[in-house]
Structure 1
Amino acid sequence: MVLNIVKLLKKLFFTVWSWKLGREKQLTNAAVTAINRVIANVPVLDDRYYETRDHSNQGCFYYPEPEAGKPVVFPGQCDPGIQAAANFNMTAFQGIWHEIETYPKEQQSGQCINHRYTLGTANYLNLVSSNVIDEILGVTNSRVTFASAQDSSGRLVINLTSGGTSEFKYVITTLFRSR
């Protein structure tokens, strides 16, 4: 009995799929005109049923699958609206910070990762980072400065002493004391 109803419904109704595809993320005016001509001549096609797809950076954003030991790479550009901590206090940031959890990074891996910041002269911090890999201690030295002399937020530049590479970091918030 149920099978007969399904067969009857299939005779009375049908499903239509239609796509508007393009090689670019937006259709050209000529393509829109050509597609509209086709839609006008096919009785079951109507513009009100089409759903617009978002191909912007925001629309195409996704969280990549985590891979152990590999950096997390997101599609698109870094969000310029991320706010760093206002009035970042380098003096209060001094001391040892223990890396409890982290996204994987190429610059440093292993266990027991610690960062010791000491105040240098001329508004910078000296940074000594240590890590342990296969029971071998590794150490890197760096200098930390504000990203801009006019900006005292937590936008920082870390200049590695060996290799001469620079990394931009944002301190978004911090508790200078954890007690």
Structure 2
Amino acid sequence: MISRILLNTNRFSKTTTIFKRIPHNKPASSHLSSCREYTSSLQPTPLPTTSPSSVLIRTFSSDDSGSHSDFAAQKKSVPSGNQKALELIDSHVKSNPIMLYMKGSPNSPQCGFSARIVQILQSNGASFSSVNVLEYPEIREGVKQYGEWPTIPQLYVNGEFVGGCDIVTQMDEDGELEELLKTVENA
């Protein structure tokens, strides 16, 4: 059986095999000695070694002088049309004690995060104002710049940015949000 398998593999391969075909009438143990002789003559090939001094190391500069200008930090300028949106957002935040920028409306939130903040505010009995950023693309982009926060919803209390869904949820669980909302009632 083994001789047939080796024979079949030799038919498809033109390479030299280290195995000899074992005749059916001779025991396999007689051929083990020749395999042992061959494998004992094999020596491992040593890997090339390099000393630490010959290894190239890329150093990174701490300033922009050693870096390509494509990789330098860049600030985005606020487009002039967006300036009006930022001014409108500022007036909303300053004139409303609790201001929520969300996707959808409190009666019909359009994302789970917005729905969660509405639920938290309502469970705390808070009266709040909101803007549906899906209806106003300028406000949607402007509020991200205004709060320096990349996601929506965004909650503002007493003119200060509180956070998004995760932060508001954590504050609610810790009881911090309830204390913050009490300051609105007293103001």
- The answer, yes or no, to whether TM exceeds 0.5 is no
TM-score, structure 2 as length reference: 0.25
> Using CA pairs below 8 Å that are at least 6 residues apart, which structure has the higher relative contact order?
2
Q: Which has the higher strand share?
A: 1
Q: Which has the higher helix share?
A: 2
